[in-house]
Amino acid sequence: MNFPVIKGAGYALVHTPDMIIHNGTTQTTERITNPESEYLKKINDHVRSYEEVVRYIPNQVYIGNMKPGDLAEYEMPWFDKTGKTEVRFGKFGEIMPQDEFMGLMKMADVFDLVLLEKDFNEAVREKLMAHPLFKNEAEGMKAGVEIEEIEKAVADHAEGLYNDGKLVGCVKRAHDVDANLTSHILFENLVVKASGVLAFNNL
């Protein structure tokens, strides 16, 4: 008799502050129903930087650079503590920054729905070329487009992609009627697909 076993696991954390602000369901709903809310005005003050996310001790435990038992050595809360290591790569996975993740979304997109501004696209491609897991894929990454094309697409129902508060890309809708192919739903699907690719490659 054969018995299925788990032979490996890959962990991934992705820091996407602009996606929280511009694409998150709570924020997009609040922007429609209460655009002048104090919540929206103050949200930027409560989003951690990438460096803070990498330093966060439980995140280092998650990707395998520290052991769960190590947490007992630090008094809670942990957000203001520095652990034994502050690196993005661990034996179980990694912590990826937002710009690289957008590049991963583009590489995972087989229908050319993800557009990235040409200079941003090239900068991300170079970063992914230096990534230990994505060099080959990044070599074939398609070129970016002019920002005007992205702005036009966003005006025509595309989901904007932002980095440091600046529009740098978009996810286009795949159909002008089908509610299952709106740009926001496709954005969510591509985020899931890209994060799955990231975790899988960290096996």
Range list of H helices, 43-182 = 50-55, 57-62, 98-108, 118-129, 135-139, 147-155
pLDDT at 112 over 70: yes
Q: Where are the beta strands (DSSP E) in 27-116?
A: 93-96, 114-116
Q: What percent of the chain has pLDDT over 90?
A: 88
pLDDT at 28 over 70: yes
Q: What are phi and psi for residue 92, nearest 5 degrees? A: -100, -20
| Alpha-carbon span 19 to 28, nearest angstrom | 10
Provide the whole-model pTM: 0.93
CA 145 → CA 50, 72, 112, 167, distances in Å?
Answer: 27, 49, 12, 13
| Alpha-carbon span 100 to 44, nearest angstrom | 21
Of residues 169, 162, 100, 172, the one with CA closest to residue 137:
100
Strands 114-116 and 159-163: unpaired
pLDDT at 1 over 70: no
